[in-house]
Amino acid sequence: MPKTREKNFIRRSLVLGGPRSWGLLPSLKAPDLTSRRLTIFFSFSTRSIIMNNIQYRRTVPEDAQVLKNLVPNVFYKREPLGNALTIRPSVEAIATVSDRIVHATVESPDNLSIVAVDNTYKGNPRSIVGFILARPMCSPDPFGDMSEFADPTMFPILEVIDRIHLEVEEEFPGFHDMSDATNFEIVGVVDEYLTRGIVKDMAIVAGDELLKAGYKKAVFATASENIKVTSSNWVGAHIIHSLDLKAFEMKGAKVFTNVKNEVLQLVVLDYSQGRRTNAKL
């Protein structure tokens, strides 16, 4: 596989989550979903599931502008790859990346994204409290060469992502060309909802929706130490321990100075193998 192809693929995998809001769940015991009371209804062509007063649904174009504002705000405040650098990426750089990701997911005909909505939440016009922005793995690269628009403070992030991809390709050769695979670009939850298991529930709903659309696998990266809380819901979960951020260097200097989660991991979920018994809806 050409080196340029490798870099373009992993550079669009900016899920790279922090210990709480990004990537996966905080350090909490996974709730037993079999005990939850669920209400399932249909609105137009969008299937919605309500769990614990949170609505989970596919995104619609009207969500795009809210997400373009929400994603960079969440990323810049808590994302380890954004706030643990010796020189933080500019707000403009993060906003540019977020804008392109939302455009390539929510505004795409191949939209596979999921949002969590609480109608009592007034933090944004559409009451979105969580999101998984996803798209087909083999779809066109929305970024091209990110170095063309990223300021120098973004380069360590891009280098980290490139290094992770090399390990992914060794473990799962050709994964990014699979027509039944998807990429979770960004996952996040707003501050007030961090401890409610929303990412875990979104991952389950996303799996069901992806299977219905003909997709069997999803890939994402995270810096969360509690990755197993969510991935263990799926029989086909593969976790690759990738990169020690505290030891990461560029030009002989360490660039991450405030990292609590030492290892950046990449996770592949094979939804086609089914859920475990404690994760049934």
Sequence spans of domains, the chain: 3-279
For residue 24, the model assigns a pLDDT of: 28
Nearest to 187 by CA among 70, 100, 94, 45: 70
For residue 224, the model assigns a pLDDT of: 64
Which distant-in-sequence residues (6+ apart) come within 8 Å of 175 by Cβ? 137, 168, 169, 181, 217, 219, 268
Give alpha helix (H) positions in the chain. 3-11, 64-78, 80-83, 91-105, 155-171, 198-212, 227-231
**Per-position pLDDT tens, the chain of length 281:** 444 333 333 333 344 333 222 332 222 222 233 333 233 332 334 568 998 889 999 999 999 999 999 988 777 666 656 666 666 777 787 788 888 889 999 999 988 999 999 999 999 999 999 999 999 988 876 666 666 666 777 777 777 777 777 777 788 888 878 899 998 888 889 989 988 889 888 988 998 899 999 999 888 877 765 555 566 677 788 887 777 777 888 888 887 777 665 677 788 888 888 877 554 43
At 15, the amino acid letter reads: V
pTM: 0.77
For residue 92, the model assigns a pLDDT of: 80
The burial of 38, by beta-carbon neighbours within 10 Å (0-12 exposed, 13-18 middle, 19 or more buried), is given as: exposed
**3-state class of 186 per DSSP?**
strand
For residue 147, the model assigns a pLDDT of: 67
For residue 263, the model assigns a pLDDT of: 72
CATH label, 3-279, candidates 3.40.50.880, 3.50.50.60, 3.40.630.30, 3.40.350.10: 3.40.630.30
Sign of the Cα torsion 268, 273, 278, 280 reads positive
For residue 8, the model assigns a pLDDT of: 39
